[in-house]
Amino acid sequence: MKERILTLVGFSFQRNSLKTEILSGITTFTSMVYILALLPAMLEPLRAVGYPVDSAFTATALATIVGTVIMAFLGKRPFGLAPGLTINIFFIETVCLALGYTWQFALTAVLLEGLLFILLCVSSLRRIIFEMVPASLKHGIAAGIGFFIAMIGFKNSGILAEGTIFNHLDTLTTPSSLLFLLGLLLTGFFSILRIKGGLLLSILIVTVVSIPVGVTKLPTEFISIPDSIAPLFCQFSWDALLLPDLWVCVLIMLFFDVFDSLGTIVGVMACSDIIRPNGRIPHMRNIMLSDAIATATGACLGCSTVTSYAESATGFAEGGRTGLSALVVALCFTISLFMAPLFLTIPASATAPVMVVAGLYLFGSIRHISLADPKHSMPVFLTILLMPVTGSITDGIIAGLLSFIILSFIEGWLKRGTN
């Protein structure tokens, strides 16, 4: 029975290690758990327009659990899924606050976007979009996401300012920054010794050390009863279906969702020896389809677009390769639904070093890129540069794709001219 369940998530005792997959899942969870506090806080401005913010924690946890379980059984890869931060900002700031539409209108747009994404995944359009990206750029996306999540790690540590400029050196002496540097040292040390579970061990050590230095305060209670999801469940605005603005929002969300998902999945897997020499990824259809179904189910639970998280790279770096790791992530989020005070005590300075090391792991994909050909090296460079600078995976991919298309056209035009 146990082996049958493990087979359903792509696990094989001949190829995979049970211990490694479990450690990978826990590591990914600790890198993602911050969303349980961040996403409800981001939704706070919508309280004034009737959004039931008190139910947002439950909705976020459930959307994460459901989406990640779908990935475990359908995609069979160690990705953690949760409501995306970029599209969440568009959901809140643009659709609800700037345009003045109701949150039910916004959730309807998310549901329709998810359904269109599902249709795209089961059609030939998915393959066309995927094959638009040359193999060199796929590896460039991996390197760019490496810089992207390493930048997030430095920002979370407090060493980096909101932009890409370093703060004054006095930030290096704050307790949070010193804990971050300790964590960075530990992850490097454990990586050199090739200790299995070293990334997770580093998180645990820094978390324990953060308590006596005053960075982390232990909660007064460890068990919490989540709020009901009833106020958010399937709250759609069907009368808005004929409004042009709704479909504009749907298309914008679809654009961001497709390229964010594509970028994260391709980028993380490109450096994991899973991607084939021709640039193709096995079972890519099911992986993308998992993302699409998660978005539709997340909308029913009251959340913005659910997508694969770049933080999943921490689990890949720990050695996770199958859906069992994703199943462990989902299990941890299920436990956190009732023990949120405990899990939210993990400080950012404990998980930030792991994100930096995962960034290094992703950046290793640069070795597959030939920098001698400007047609490939220029798009790759722009992709790597713009992801951390703009804070958007999608922006980096679009810049790389456009530059590759333009340079390919110029090269073809020059060849025709010489002939």
pTM of the entire structure?
Answer: 0.83
What does the pLDDT profile of the chain (419 residues) look like in tens digits?
677 788 899 888 888 889 999 999 999 998 888 888 888 888 888 888 889 988 989 999 999 999 999 999 999 999 999 998 878 888 988 899 888 899 999 999 999 999 999 999 988 777 777 777 787 888 888 888 888 888 888 887 777 765 545 555 566 778 888 888 898 899 888 888 877 778 888 888 988 998 888 888 887 777 888 889 999 999 999 999 999 999 999 998 998 888 888 888 887 887 666 776 666 777 888 999 999 999 999 999 999 999 998 888 888 888 888 999 999 999 999 998 888 788 778 888 888 888 888 888 878 778 777 778 888 889 989 998 888 888 788 888 889 889 988 988 888 887 776 66
- Mark 118-135 as b/e (b = at least 16 C-beta within 10 Å): bebbeeeebeeebeebbb
Whether the CB-CB separation of 26 and 19 falls below 8 Å is answered with no
Q: Report how far residue 26's alpha carbon sits from residue 49's, in angstroms, rounded to the nearest whole number.
A: 37
Q: Which residue's structure tokens are 């990705």?
A: 79
Residues 6+ away with beta carbon under 8 Å from 419: none
How many domains does the chain contain in total?
A: 1
The H or E element spanning position 162 is none
State which residues form the domain around 380: 2-363+372-418
Whether the CB-CB separation of 82 and 32 falls below 8 Å is answered with yes
Note the residue count of the chain: 419
The three-point CA angle 272-275-276 to 5° equals 135
Bridge pairing between strands 306-308 and 81-83: antiparallel
